[in-house]
Structure 1
């Protein structure tokens, strides 16, 4: 256990902010060296703007198990000085410790266990991507292409609190920018000659929020707005950033059509909508259920603990592979809580347990 915690501390201290390429690349190089030591063939796929992506292949044969881990975190460089890695009362704290440096740690120690045990016949492909927290724009083609050649996908995102549940269903995510154009005029001298883009945007915001249906799990949120130039000028332009969350592809298609075809309320204004579905929903398919039940049986019969499933409102790279029809099991990483917050932590006692589960999945799928 000391070796695991020491490795976890090391990669937490390798800060890897999504938007700071040099930091992500340092961690990428470190992980590449570790994968080579574990007998992998590695390929570093370089990017110009964002962190490099690492693909590591272990074993020979077709239809590998694909393992997804992301290196980047939401924390800027320097955060480790404010919140250094610490262990207290059986929990580890630090920036990115839950999302998802512990998942990376478990993946590599499971591979080490597989090597030592010598009974795994499955080839395994690992993807360590550098841009998951900002949409996986450079890594998505890599992940999708590799998943099409794989028998299943295991995602080392954190388990779902509070019970450390595996994620068999995730909401899809859409992001949009709504741009409004009106006509400027002097708010005092010629108010009747202007058409306020801000007023039109206000109508659109109300309409967008009315699309939320908590019963079906569909949510639409206008999270950022801006517009106008001065208080004494009728605003000629305004815009809003919109977040969409949905459980099913059918609902995604319905909401996508509505949002992309917004109609002006005020005569003389125009609306332009940009964006779309960034991550399709991860629906609970028969293949995902079979994969979960296999993992659940391993836990009950061999590992001595109960494994539960849950659904999550956030998305991951598992959404991409599940949408292609590849059986995908998500949430196999850290058991903890507080992801993306200063209170982020992992429960250390669960790391050997979840590493053992991953090892047996490698050996039995």
Structure 2
């Protein structure tokens, strides 16, 4: 069931278009990510949902209600800030209780709800500590507890894990996902971190220059990108520009490449993931190149191949340590069904 409908939202700041005709439907109970580079419009969209910005045109409906007509403090929406914005002079419990106290709820109800949410995030033993006495990961949990204790219909998270180191970030990604399923609140997270979006979200909207490029599940975005930007932005990829003629894709300077053409004749790009690339003995008619670098990344080796006539190196990935050395001449190929053709 659709909880949030964003319909044709546009926003300009002077001559700069931050959002251009953005339309997205987000489902009840979904963990949804807005992903894109800096300046793509994702934070502007988040601020519109929170009520800190007003679109120039378009509408936003939450469960059928016009969200834009509601003042920020009256929206069933909560925002978890990137900086956490905890009150340093208050205890953990007081930080979490603050929003409920502002609503003048009964003390007994506040105490019960704060205790319940602190237990969920694993901070019950630290209820009387101050933020300065907590680690970065623990502070992040306090901010999350404060956001969900008010039981919003929609929780917005602005780069929620950016302040954490890599190990703690990985732990908190699992924790966020677990909590989201447990509390049943719809989460919308803004991030520029692909790994974060791919590990957290049920679906992702990839944005660029104020537009939505593609909305899909993480696996679909990775395996079947629909635009050149998505293919280049999501993970490592080998991209060849060229054209389709008579069902055959030919790359500029290389000639025909393995693919199954499913689009009409015309200019196109071919995308092939490094783990799908195979390096073999070179044979006539095959793309050939010279290995220029072999790097080992804890279980996976990346092999860079310089191909004559191509402006960028071809990247291949293989499990374990690679049995190949720089300077080796290799053939570069892949299964036709593994290639993705993207019309230009």
Name which one, 1 or 2, has greater alpha-carbon Rg: 2
TM-score by length of 1: 0.24
Specify which structure has the higher proportion of strand: 2
Greater RCO structure (CA 8 Å; 6+ sep): 1
Give the TM-score normalised by structure 2: 0.25
Determine which structure has the larger helix proportion and give its number: 1
